Amino acid sequence: MPALALIFNAFVWGVSWFPFRHIESHGLHPVWTTCIIYVAISVAMGLLFRRNAWRGFVAYPMLLLLGLAAGFTNLGFNWAVTQGDVVRVVLLFYLMPLWSVLLGWAVLGERPTAGALARVALALTGVAVVLKTPGVEWPVPSSLPDWLGLAAGFSFAVTNIVLRHLRDAPGESRALAMFCGCAVVAAIAATAGTLLGAFGSPLLAEPGWIGWAALLGAGFVLANICLQYGAARLAASATAVIMLSEVLFASISSVALDAAAMSPRILAGGALIVLAAVWSAFARTPARGDDRLSSPT
């Protein structure tokens, strides 16, 4: 059951691009969709949770950083999979070995081992293969979705680093911080984008988006519950590997529905990135048994 719960979480995020694109077809930008969904979830959670959940922010000020990191993760990921090639975005998002090594070294003082550097090299090779498209001289991100995928993956790594520091904080406070952070970051970005003319006003969107947004919101809540259930009962290495099934769900669904192009180059680069992530998962030795891998939620 814990493994199935984690697979469901990965499935929700792997196919989330589909409802996001349907919502966008009704005139609502994915940034506004993210904002509306997480504002609704945050309000509901704020009403349901005990006061102790809010008091945790006083005892653990780093919860604010957790909220910001989770917010940037969701904003970047949701925006990227709606606008770009889904497989490329998901692969760039899962550069956890690279970001984890660099952040662990800079923030936690964990000097990388030879194995860690080898995993970084493997992941970077995979990225170079994925990004080196025909006609591109250097393998660098060539579009906004590429950059958003990379930025979201980096924020994902920051989220996990902060969660390690907040292992003693109440679970309700951590969940509330992450959902509220998603709402605040998306609200700021959506408002700024609309004022600058980059996004259309949500008031001009056709009403058909509401049902899709409700489905997404319910999926995100259930996915988070499944993550907490599964991650609490499995080893961190097993959790990390199972979460990589998101790449499989995203690849199959997007290729089947013509939202991504699969080629030998993408397969080769993706295999190297996933291999580096799996190697990293089994090489990890958390300081405490309750270190967990978080999801984008």
Q: Would you list the domain boundaries of the chain? A: 2-283
pLDDT tens column, 87-146: 888 888 887 667 777 777 777 677 777 887 888 888 888 888 877 766 666 666 778 888
> What is the DSSP secondary structure assignment for residue 3, as one 8-state letter?
H
Question: What value does the mean pLDDT take over residues 184-200?
Answer: 91
Q: Does this model's pTM top 0.85?
A: no
pLDDT exceeds 90 at position 34: yes
pLDDT exceeds 60 at position 150: yes
Q: Which residue has the tokens 């760039």?
A: 92
CB-count burial class (<10 Å; 0-12, 13-18, 19+) for 291: middle
Q: Is 155 helix (H, G, I), strand (E, B) or coil?
A: helix
pLDDT exceeds 80 at position 251: yes
291: Cβ–Cβ under 8 A, 6 or more apart, which residues? 163, 164, 167, 236
Question: What value does the mean pLDDT take over residues 232-245?
Answer: 74
Residues 228-245 as b or e (16 or more Cβ within 10 Å = b):
bbbbeebebbbbbbbbbb
